[in-house]
Amino acid sequence: MDMNSGYQHYYHSSMASSYDGSIDFEFQTTVFVFEIRTNFLLVKRTLDHDEDYEEQIMGSENLSATLRVPADQLDDWLERLHGDDFSHITYRLKEYLMPGDEIQSLIHEVFDFAQEIMAVDPSIPVVPIVVDVGVCTVQLDGETLDHAIDRSVRPDCLIPLPLLRPEWKKNDSFRPINDYLLYGLPRIGVEDEGFGAHMETCSICLGGPTAAAPMSLLPCNHAFHRHCVVKWMLKSWTCPLCRHEIAHDILKEAMKGTNKDITFLL
Ligand SMILES: [Zn+2]
Ligand SMILES: [Zn+2]
């Protein structure tokens, strides 16, 4: 793993000993229930030894996806794993700053694991799979602890989980208004050109730009952390700085886009 990037991820799949949720059974389908259990860790350098690290838990969250596979379509799994059922999970993994190839490896590993279980007992109606994911922000050599905490990936810097709904579908004409707002917001990452010019400080949380918190530029040209402005917009549809009516502009853009091939913020 690359310690220099300042972020590390690990994951491990296992089968849950039991499943206590409720499932509607359909004839001749296998139901796969994937639960992603994420721990957010801050990996601190200890003062005494350069090579020693100490872990601090910054939070945790669970998200899940359910996949129904007709018994005669097991070969199509992989394709399905990339589809709508998983779009909220891949979106979240990107928010964890997990590189694209690692996201693909995680999905492949989970898929392989599910296949192994099916090979042992193809008659299991519900296969509950737990994927433990660790998202580590690693304090860099010479970096202050405050700075590392500031750029750490943690739940309060991500889009609120209830906004990431698995049932969201591309052509759903009854999409809740929040989905339009969310996906109509432009995103700018720290790596994007001219980033500094847009936002020195987010006036909602008073924090600065960091890799773990991309920002969004509103139609009035005011920028905020994405997670901050999304939370703000759940309560108010005007710009926190200039009171410009943002919802109207964003909705108009979003409605225009519905005829195009849109993927859910991927
Ligand atoms: Zn902010
Ligand atoms: Zn504004």
pLDDT (tens digit, 9 = 90+) per residue, 203-257?
A: 999 988 888 887 888 878 888 888 898 888 878 878 999 998 877 776 666 666 5
Q: Could you tell me the distance, in angstroms and rounded to a whole number, from the CA of residue 135 to the centre of ligand 1?
A: 21
Q: Tell me the sheet residues that pair with 224.
A: 216
What's the gap between Cα 52 and its chain centre? Answer: 30
Kindly list the distances between the CA atom of residue 182 and the CA atoms of 18, 119, 179, in Å, as whole numbers in the listed order: 35, 40, 5
Q: Could you tell me the distance, in angstroms and rounded to a whole number, from the CA of residue 199 to the centre of ligand 1?
A: 10
Q: Could you tell me the distance, in angstroms and rounded to a whole number, from the CA of residue 226 to the centre of ligand 1?
A: 7
Q: Could you tell me the distance, in angstroms and rounded to a whole number, from the CA of residue 186 to the centre of ligand 1?
A: 15
Helix (H) or strand (E) holding 226: helix 226-233
Q: Considering only 136-145, 174-183, 232-241, which range has the smallest mean pLDDT?
A: 174-183
Query: Which residues lie near ion ligand 1 (Cβ < 5 Å)?
Result: 202, 204-205, 225, 228
The pLDDT value recorded for residue 259 is 40
Q: Could you tell me the distance, in angstroms and rounded to a whole number, from the CA of residue 202 to the centre of ligand 1?
A: 4
250-259 long-range contacts, Cβ below 8 Å, gap at least 24?
Answer: 250/180, 250/181, 250/184, 250/185, 250/219, 251/177, 251/180, 251/181, 251/184, 253/184, 254/180, 254/181, 254/183, 254/184, 255/180, 257/184, 258/171
- Region 52-78 average pLDDT: 81
CA distance 136 to 105: 18
| Residue entry with tokens 């886009």 | 257
Question: Quick one: pLDDT band at residue 137, thresholds 50, 70, 90?
Answer: very high
- Region 146-170 average pLDDT: 80
Question: Quick one: pLDDT band at residue 99, thresholds 50, 70, 90?
Answer: very high
The pLDDT value recorded for residue 242 is 93
Q: Could you tell me the distance, in angstroms and rounded to a whole number, from the CA of residue 218 to the centre of ligand 2?
A: 7
pLDDT at 185 over 90: no
DSSP-derived pairing of the beta strands 126-138 and 7-15: antiparallel
Question: Quick one: pLDDT band at residue 184, thresholds 50, 70, 90?
Answer: low
Ligand nearest to the CA of 223: 2
Ligand nearest to the CA of 206: 1
Q: Is residue 84 a contact partner of residue 170, using CB atoms and an 8 Å limit? A: yes
Q: Is residue 265 a contact partner of residue 163, using CB atoms and an 8 Å limit? A: no
- Region 116-129 average pLDDT: 83
The pLDDT value recorded for residue 249 is 72
